[in-house]
Copies of this chain bind each other. A is one copy, B any other.
Amino acid sequence: MTLLATTTNHQIRLARRPVGLPVRADWSFTAEPVSSPEPGGVVVKTLLLSLDPAMRGWMNEGKSYIAPVAIDEVMRAVGIGVVVASESPAFAVGDRVSGLLGVQEYAAFGARRIERGELVRIDLRAGTPTQWLNVLGAPGMTGYFGLMDVGQPKPSETVVVSGAAGAVGQTVGQLARIKGCRAVGIAGGPAKCKWVVDELGFDACIDYKAGPVKEGLKAHCPKGVDVYFDNVGGEILDAVLTRINRRARIIICGAISQYNSTEPIKGPANYLSLLVNRARMEGIVVFDYAERYPVAIAEMAGYLKDGTMKSREDVAVGIDTFPETLLRLFRGENFGKLVLQVAEG
């Protein structure tokens, strides 16, 4: 308790709604003392934060699948932390936990949030803390339920995923392989493409910076595309739409190419391919599957353990670097799941 009272909690708050790419002036940097936990509550020290494309959407006003981050609110972020003070029978000091810690060094969870299951103990035998933000975390669950529930891939079908070297993409492609599909990634640059094929075992990877994606799809998807997991939107979505098979499924997971655009979003001009091919385009929000996370995590932990699934995280250090580190996502500079290390432990 005494320790906490003399400790400072550095926080990063949303100062204003960004236009286009968020700049440093869109954030405010605050510091406040760490309070003792309320009865039934805990205080968590942040170790790692997950930086995700979805964060950009949370910064915008307006209706979405989740309320926007309010002005002057601590920026929303999923993280891994360690319980440093507990008045809750559910958590002991030293427990490693996962939850919406926010971009701050310490996060308090009251009894009600704990009852609602907003803080989850993680099992380090299943995966490392960074893997718990990747394959075993929200990106992994997004890939799992997006591919399996929305995409419903059948063995020998061709699954294409954009953002293939990113957090969701690496899960989708590897899982597609495990389920007996042909997995073709789309990623930016030869290093990512090589890694996706050589290390993750995708059947092929199309470098969208090297030439037309449509040509890559022709070369690497000789039987067309049955499932497309879209993380990027824009021209790549349009290119894939020209190559889909009858009854294809397109999972709309994100549209990172459009998030920082100050122009109106570019809708998929080739959407009538859905008609021609009797195909389907469907959105996924991972929270809908929360009740089934444990089953999926157990399955994914098994793949990590037996080596059929690999993971890569790209770890930046220091909470102060958050504004610039976040931008790496939108410039395609991250290589693997982007994680911000706030403290060691």
Question: Does A276 sit at the interface, judged by CB under 8 A?
Answer: yes
* Cβ-closest chain B residue relative to A253: B275
Copies of this protein in the complex: 2
Q: Return chain B residues, CB-CB under 8 Å to A266.
A: 267, 269
A residues 50-104 in Cβ contact with B at 8 Å: 63-65
- Closest residue of chain B to A281 (Cβ to Cβ) is B281
Question: In whole Å, how far is A295's beta carbon from the nearest beta carbon of chain B?
Answer: 20
- What does the 1/0 interface line of A227-262 toward B look like (CB < 8 Å)? 000000100001000000000000011110010000
Q: With an 8 A cutoff between CB atoms, is A270 at the interface? A: yes
Does the CB pair B277–A279 fall under 8 Å? no
Flag if B276 contacts A63 (CB, 8 Å). yes
Q: Which residues from chain B contact A270 at a C-beta distance below 8 Å?
A: 265, 267
Set B265, B269, B284: member contacting A265, Cβ < 8 A:
B269
Residues on B with C-beta less than 8 A from A269 are 264-267
Q: Does A275 lie within 8 Å of B65, measured CB to CB?
A: yes
User: Is A274 engaged at the interface, CB distance under 8 Å to the other chain?
Assistant: yes
Which parts of A167-216 form the interface with B (CB within 8 Å)? none
Give Cα A319 to B284, complex, Å. Answer: 50
Chain B residues whose CB sits within 8 angstroms of the CB of A284 once the complex forms: 275, 278
**Interface: A288 (CB within 8 A):** yes
B274 near A282 with CB under 8 A, answer yes
Let me know if A294 is at the binding interface, CB within 8 A. no
Residues of B contacting A238 in the complex (Cβ-Cβ under 8 angstroms): 267
Given A63-B276, A65-B276, A276-B63 in contact, is the A281-B288 Cβ separation under 8 Å? no
Q: Say whether A303 faces chain B, with CB atoms less than 8 Å apart.
A: no
Chain B neighbourhood of A253, CB < 8 A: 275
Judge whether B281 and A282 touch: CB under 8 Å.
yes
> How far, in whole Å, are A265 and B238 apart by their CA atoms in the complex?
11
Q: In the complex, what distance in Å separates the CA atom of A255 from the CA atom of B272? A: 8
CB-based nearest B residue for A263: B269
- Additional A-B contact list (6), CB under 8 Å, known A265-B270, A275-B285, A280-B281: A65-B278, A252-B274, A258-B272, A267-B269, A276-B283, A278-B285
